[in-house]
Amino acid sequence: MPEDNAPQQQAPAPSGPGPRPQGGPGGGMRPGGPPKRGKRSFVRKKKVCRFCVDKADFIDYKRAEILAPFIQERGKILPRRMTGTCARHQRWLTVAIKRAQNIALLPFAAEL
Amino acid sequence: MEERQYDLIFICRPDTPEADIDKLIATIEHTATDKGARIEKTEKWGRKRMAYRVHKLREDFYVYMILKSSHGEVVKELERRLKVSDPVIKYLTVRLDEELKRQAKLKHHRERRAARRPRKTTPAAAAPTGEQAQGIA
């Protein structure tokens, strides 16, 4: 399975829009270098920022339902590495979540 | 000074009669206009379940307002009033004009980029078929 995946991943790279540096599409590969043959090469699905997909220029703190997926059950704000949100949108998102918490639209912590 | 936009949300006890809430909104609006602010919008969101308990209450009455003012004094006065009025248990004022400005700017950029994109790609990709590219453009 891993042997099958590696060539498939690299195949579309040359036909892409522009010349790319070695290493194929940035999705699955670790920055450590080319994938080792055989063991330890699994393709990780690249997470994309939900707000970038929606082309959000502004995250509204009043809409708790769009902020809710980004907090844990206990009320913690999820880190970027879990949700795949880009840096800019995470910055806006935290501000929005904190505002929503202040006006009791989102919890600070889980209820007892 | 340019005009600032504020969001003002306050939460009233759910057992206050509707008339009292209306009266409260009227006084707030009156104070705001007295201080030189404009009320853009007033919205009663009504009874909503809160995310956590405040004063041992689970459910409350939300009122939402958009204000425009050129100076911040009005917010100070409104918050003081909200603090002393009995039915209000929580309030939040957020200054939003800078974020809205940023939003407008980003939107503008995106539209310009979208308008420019076809021109930029066609000469490089389809140089020999120039008449085709022009036909598309």
B107 three-state secondary structure:
helix
A64 contacts B92? CB cut-off 8 A: no
Contact A104 B106 (CB under 8 A): no
Q: What are the domain boundaries of chain A?
A: 1-46, 50-102
Tens digit of pLDDT for each residue in B57-102? 888 888 888 888 887 788 888 888 888 888 888 889 888 888 888 8
Give the pairing of strands B88-95 and B57-69: unpaired
CB of B133 within 8 Å of a chain A CB? The answer is no
How distant is the Cα of A105 from the closest Cα of chain B, in angstroms?
Answer: 5
User: Would you say A99 and B101 are in contact if contact means Cβ atoms under 8 Å apart?
Assistant: no
Q: Distance between CA B1 and CA B36 in Å, rounded?
A: 13
- In angstroms, what separates the C-alpha of A103 from chain B's closest C-alpha? 6
**What domains appear along chain B, each with residue ranges and CATH number?**
4-99 (3.30.70.60)
Q: Give the model confidence (pLDDT) of A34-92 as tens digits.
A: 555 666 677 777 778 888 888 888 888 888 888 888 988 888 899 988 888 889 899 99
The encoded tokens of residue A75 equal 């009320």
Q: Give ipTM to 2 decimals.
A: 0.72
Give the pLDDT of residue B126: 46
Length of chain A: 112
Residue-wise pLDDT for B26-61, tens only, equals 888 888 888 888 888 888 888 888 888 888 888 888
What fold characterizes domain A50-102?
Answer: 30s Ribosomal Protein S18 (4.10.640)
When pLDDT is cut at 50, 70 and 90, the band that residue A24 belongs to is: very low
A106, B51: Cβ pair inside 8 Å? Answer: yes
